[in-house]
């Protein structure tokens, strides 16, 4: 038995829709056994997938072939993520949180006077 890659990515909840999965496969963000592929590619057991989604990267080995979307718990049993991938993804999430927490945030929205001052500053810099 084999399953299309876009269908499997959707069924295992990596993407919300098959169209999104197809788009990522076509753009080369998904690799099967280290090679770019097409959305119609049929997956087999023990294939290795590299999934690049936003700033995160998963490297997983396929354990089950699923065609229909299932619960998150069952979907997680369909693949096994490599320990290096888990560590790298967790490090990226921690770094992302640190960057977010270190950026200054205003205490309130600017009022009309402040907005006008900001506009003047932006126009003078251009």
The two three-digit tokens of residue 71, written as one number: 């619960």
The pLDDT > 90 percentage for the chain reads: 83
- CA dist., res. 2 & res. 43, Å (int): 5
- CA dist., res. 125 & res. 59, Å (int): 45
- Residue ranges covered by each domain of the chain: 3-125
User: Domain 3-125 adopts which CATH fold?
Assistant: 3.10.290
pLDDT on residue 126 = 61
Categorize the per-residue pLDDT at 111 as very low, low, confident or very high, splitting at 50, 70 and 90.
Answer: very high
What's the whole-number mean pLDDT along residues 39-61? 94
Q: What value does the mean pLDDT of the chain take?
A: 93
Tens digits of residue pLDDT in 67-85? 999 999 999 999 999 999 9
119: Cβ contacts below 8 Å, ≥ 6 apart: none
pLDDT on residue 12 = 96
Tens digits of residue pLDDT in 25-40? 999 999 999 999 999 9
Backbone dihedral region for residue 70 (phi beyond 0: left; psi -120 to 50: alpha; all else: beta): beta
């Amino acid at each position: 038995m084999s399953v299309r890659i876009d269908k499997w990515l959707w069924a295992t909840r990596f993407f919300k829709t098959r169209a999104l999965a197809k788009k990522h496969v076509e753009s080369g963000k998904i690799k099967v056994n280290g090679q770019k592929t097409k959305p119609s590619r049929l997956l087999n057991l023990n294939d290795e997938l590299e999934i690049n989604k936003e700033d995160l990267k998963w490297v997983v080995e396929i354990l089950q072939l699923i065609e229909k979307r299932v619960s998150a718990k069952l979907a997680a049993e369909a693949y096994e993520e490599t320990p290096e991938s888990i560590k790298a993804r967790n490090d990226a999430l921690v770094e992302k949180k640190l960057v977010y927490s270190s950026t200054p945030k205003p205490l309130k929205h600017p009022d009309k006077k402040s907005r006008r001052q900001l506009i003047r500053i932006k126009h003078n810099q251009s």
